[in-house]
């Protein structure tokens, strides 16, 4: 038996998320269909995580096992990318020990969230959330992001019902860049952690954006970090602004 790890990029706009679903197009379902055709045998893949409907990826990973060997990496990538839809692309493949698993072997992830204030740009609409022309306090937004840095109990920032780690995650890195032009302002936030829970990045970003808009305060956010009583925040930033950039493994 052979065990493989692949890196895949995709635009999530046309899919009901990563996880395979009956009667709906998904990233996992599309990849498994192509792999099964390539190997002429049913193949099941295991992703490093389950991105939501509309979420994009540059460096999502998945692993799978096959009794067949791959004679040529270049030939495999060419064939797979011909079989897959144009908005999904396999970037690389490498053989791994049988004990390796794309999700269980991961030690961290990096996401990017991009949003835009100003004149609507339809050419950016699939990868940058379009927030319209509203007054936005960038300094308050940045101060909110700083509250997330480090290890916290993020139980109010996920819809996950329970968690073996007590909802604690370590936000190792947060970086924010601003790109301005005469008609708009693009804000791009990069977040890296030992792991993220269901909807966590989108709820964190949604909360920070609300602070920037003045509809939440920094004190409101502090009450939701390390809470004694759970009260899940119900606003998620739009899915199209989120991109999974990289999944980390031991030597990364």
How far apart CA 209 and CA 170 sit, in angstroms, is 21
Secondary structure element (H or E) that encloses residue 96, with its range: strand 88-96
How many Cα atoms occupy the beta-carbon half-sphere of 84 within 13 Å? 24
How far apart CA 119 and CA 231 sit, in angstroms, is 35
For residue 114, the cross-strand partners are 188
Strands (E), 126-236: 129-130, 150-153, 168-181, 184-193
Q: Which residue in the list 52, 163, 165, 252 is annotated as catalytic?
A: 52
Structure tokens, 115: 């949003």
- DSSP readout, 24-68? B--HHHHHHHHHHHHHTS---EEESS-PPTT-EEEEEEEEEEESS
Catalytic: 52? yes
Going 223 to 224 to 227 to 230, the CA torsion angle's sign is positive
How far apart CA 210 and CA 217 sit, in angstroms, is 8
3-state secondary structure of 219: helix
Going 86 to 87 to 91 to 97, the CA torsion angle's sign is negative
Beta strands at 129-130 and 108-118: parallel, antiparallel or unpaired = parallel
Catalytic residues: 52
């Amino acid at each position: 038996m052979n065990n493989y790890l692949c890196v895949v990029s995709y635009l999530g706009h046309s899919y009901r998320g990563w996880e395979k679903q009956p009667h709906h197009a998904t990233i996992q379902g599309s990849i498994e269909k192509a792999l099964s055709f390539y190997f002429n045998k049913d193949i099941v893949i295991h992703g490093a995580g389950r991105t939501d409907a509309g979420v994009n990826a540059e460096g999502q990973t998945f692993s799978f096992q096959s009794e067949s060997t791959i004679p040529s990496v270049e030939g495999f990538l060419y064939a797979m990318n011909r079989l897959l839809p144009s908005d999904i692309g396999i970037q690389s493949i490498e053989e791994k020990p049988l004990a390796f698993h794309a999700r269980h072997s991961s030690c961290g992830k990096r996401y990017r969230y991009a949003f835009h204030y100003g004149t609507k740009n339809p050419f950016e609409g699939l990868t940058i959330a379009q927030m319209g022309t509203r007054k936005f306090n960038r300094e308050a937004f940045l101060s909110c992001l700083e509250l997330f840095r480090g290890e916290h109990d993020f139980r109010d920032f996920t819809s996950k019902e329970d968690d073996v780690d007590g909802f604690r995650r370590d936000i190792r890195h947060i970086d924010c860049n601003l790109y301005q032009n005469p008609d708009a302002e693009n804000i791009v936030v990069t977040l890296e952690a030992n792991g993220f829970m269901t909807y966590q990045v989108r709820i964190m970003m949604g909360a920070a954006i609300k602070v920037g808009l003045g509809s939440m305060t920094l004190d409101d956010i502090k009450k939701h970090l390390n809470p004694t009583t759970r009260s899940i925040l119900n606003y998620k930033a739009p899915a199209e602004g989120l991109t999974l950039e990289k999944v980390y493994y031991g030597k990364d």
